[in-house]
Structure 1
Amino acid sequence: MAQTQGAYYVPHGSHWPIVGSIGLFSTVIGAANLINGGHGLTAAPLMYLGLAIIVFMMFGWFGTVIRESLSGIYNNQVDVSFRMGMMWFIFSEVMFFAAFFGALFYARMYSVPWVGGEGHGGLTNYYLWQGYTPSWPTNGPGDIGGSFETIPAWHLPLINTLLLLSSGVTITFAHHALRAGHRRALLVWLAATIGFGVTFLYFQATEYMEAYQHLNLTLGSGIYGSTFFMLTGFHGMHVTLGAIMLTVMWFRCAKGHFTRENHFGFEAVAWYWHFVDVVWLGLFVFVYVL
């Protein structure tokens, strides 16, 4: 399908959106039933089936886009559309994490002090939770989940911070190598970035096991436990997705899919990875240190 430079590429009809919708719907319904104690085909099997459909959809849809790109049917205007789409996607991710950071801020700066007697003449504390002294971290006046210990900021979290900061440097070096046409350096720096990301995930898994097995810090440990695992858990999920995308980019780079001038697929993943780095810096400061 030849395209002139001034014409805009109109994609053909695709079945992948409906496949993805079915996968997402199945995953959400199965996960909701599983969390609420459901059993049978509406719980775990449905969730795993939905996840499998999503993975199948991603391989198929992304493969289609890659083949279309390599065939040369995209023009500069399509490239602009891809860039704008990625920008809006990252913006939506910023808002996603902003909501959880906002919940952490509200709980820590407003809800906990109010329950402890600040504001409103101390009525909340007097009538509901007499004797509760507000502090952070806390599992609330109800001692939800029992006593717990926190993860020390200057051990595994600090190591993970150094890993992600280093990965931000290596992905930048890889980008410069791509623009300079140095494929060997590109593959080495990109592999180093993937290695840093995988090591980060290993240490985060180790941290979670330590929290559950020895510190009694769980998702059910009151407001601190819920905000801690929601923020760090979703970030870990984003690191996992980023590492998968980087791995795909490595294979595409090895096959010579990108040129010095045309490599937005690589740039998009690099943008995403830098976003993951920045979010972790906020997590390290506001969740672990303060």
Structure 2
Amino acid sequence: MAQSSYFVPPTAKWPIVGSVGMFVLMIGAANWLNQGSIGPWLLTIGAGIIILMIFGWFSEVIRESRASLYNAAVDASFRQGMIWFIFSEIMFFGAFFGALFYARMFAVPWLGGEGTGAMTNQFLWPQFEATWPTHGPAELGGDFQTIPGLGLPLINTLILLTSGVTITIAHWALKKGQRTALLLWMIATVALACLFLVIQSYEYVHAYQDLGLTLGSGIYGSTFFMLTGFHGLHVVIGTIILIVITIRCAFGHFSKKDHFGWEAAAWYWHFVDVVWLGLFLFVYVV
């Protein structure tokens, strides 16, 4: 039974560890993007620190949960915290979708001479045509080709949608107490998540090596890799979470009525699915 008083956790070191990891990761990414030699190393170290923080923090919360330190009020606070976290993630991706929308619907037409951009187009880039995708005025981004939406992106879309189905079936199995079915469907979800990451990695290599599509390919290249790259990072994080939850399922940590840790992971994964649908539509197809 959970305790009746509200559980207040002791001072945790993991937020500090995570902040250090994020700082090192940021410095490494900035250095790497500016062709620095130490960037990849710092990026790897920062990612390692963050992964250590995730597993360390997870383990503490799991121990507290298994010790029945949480009550209904704590459970409600967890749910509220997860809702606000997903809301912050929606705002995060909304900013990048907004940048894509602004560049495509306002900035590019303005540079092409529409509206108040007539003078800019006439005197600075008279040859610029306001077409999308674009590598910028004066072809600053260099020639590139886009990735057809009906190729690998469509396959990845089907994979993520299928993973949303498998994790939903796993939820049904959990609520019915069917442990074997729960494990099988969770393993299937993790496998689909890993397959998505493999295909996206191949897509990135193909874009850089064969299509000339890079972060430097004008506004299209930068928004393409920022949106798909950050989504890919969220898939990596979600996959780690799913692996941990699957292991916990194997050890019988969740019951029919007490399994918010599992539900939080499912909420996050469904959010990742929905974001990808937006990416597929507005980045690859439209």
The interval holding the TM-score normalised by the smaller chain is over 0.9
Among candidates 253, 256, 261, match of residue 260 of structure 1: 256
Number of residue-to-residue matches in the alignment? 286
Q: 1:187 matched to which residue of 2? A: 183
What's the offset of the Cα at 1:26?
2.6
1:139-154 residue pairs with structure 2 within 5 A? 139-154=135-150
Map of 1:227-266 to 2, 5 A cutoff? 227-266=223-262
1:142 partner SS: helix
The one-character-per-residue Cα deviations of 1:237-284 (angstroms, maximum 9, x if unpaired) are 111111111111111000000001111111001000100110011011
TM-score (norm 2): 0.95
Cα deviation code 1:159-202 (max 9, x no counterpart): 11111111111110000100100011111111111111111111
Tell me the CA shift for residue 28 of structure 1: 2.3
Q: Report runs of 4+ in structure 1 exceeding 6 Å deviation.
A: none
Computed over aligned residues only, the root mean square deviation of the Cα atoms, in angstroms, reads 1.6
1:103 corresponds in structure 2 to 99
Q: Give the AA of the match of 1:10.
A: V
Aligned equivalents of 2:106, 2:222: Cα separation in 1: 17
The answer on 1:58 being equivalent to 2:54 is yes
Q: Quick one: distance in 2 between partners of 1:45 and 1:199?
A: 26
Between the aligned partners of 2:41 and 2:192, the Cα distance in structure 1 is 33
Q: In 2, Cα distance between the equivalents of 1:274 and 1:24?
A: 25
| 2:7 aligned counterpart, secondary structure | coil
Counterparts of residues 56-95 of structure 1 (less than 5 Å): 56-95=52-91
Same amino acid, percent of matched pairs: 62
User: Is the CA contact (8 Å cut-off) linking 2:135 and 2:218 kept in structure 1?
Assistant: yes
1:35-50 matches, cutoff 5 A: 35-39=33-37, 43-50=39-46
Contact 1:3/1:9, CA 8 A, preserved across alignment:
no
| Residue number in structure 1 paired with 2:265 | 269
Shift of 1:39: 4.5
CA displacement 1:32-64 (0-9 Å, x = unmatched): 334334445xx4444433332222222211101
Aligned-partner SS, 1:154: coil
Determine the C-alpha separation between the residues in 1 that align with 2:117 and 2:216. Answer: 30
State the one-letter code of the partner of 2:70.
Answer: Y
Instruction: Give 1:148 shift.
Output: 0.9
Any idea what the Cα deviations from partners look like across 1:57-93, whole Å, max 9, x if unmatched? 2221110110000000110100011111111111111
Structure 1 window deviating more from structure 2 (154-163 vs 140-149): it is: 140-149
SS of 2:125's equivalent in the other structure is coil
| Match of residue 198 from structure 1 | 194
Secondary structure, in 3 states, of the residue corresponding to 1:80? helix
Quote the Cα distance in structure 2 between the aligned partners of 1:219 and 1:30: 16
Contact 2:3–2:70 (8 Å) recurs in 1: no
Shift of 1:145: 3.0
Distance in 2 (alpha carbons) for counterparts of 1:60 and 1:149: 43
Question: Corresponding residue for 1:29?
Answer: 27
Unpaired segments of 5 or more residues in structure 2? Answer: none
- Deviation, structure 1 residue 115: 0.3
DSSP 3-state at the match of 1:149: coil
1:134 Cα shift? 0.6
Q: Is the deviation greater in 156-165 or in 45-54?
A: 45-54
Which range is displaced more, 12-21 or 221-230? 12-21
- 1:220 matched to 2:216: yes
Structure 1 gaps, min length 5? none
Q: 1:4, CA displacement in angstroms?
A: 3.8
Residues 93-172 of structure 1 mapped to structure 2, 5 A cutoff: 93-120=89-116, 122-172=118-168
Aligned to 2:274: 278
Equivalent residue for 2:15? 17
- Provide the C-alpha distance between the structure 2 equivalents of 1:213 and 1:3, rounded to a whole number of angstroms: 56
Q: Could you state the TM-score of these two structures normalised by the residue count of structure 1?
A: 0.94
TM-aligned CA deviation for residue 121 of structure 1: 6.4
2:128·2:138 contact (CA, 8 Å) conserved in 1? no
Whole-angstrom CA distance in 2 between matches of 1:46 and 1:205:
21
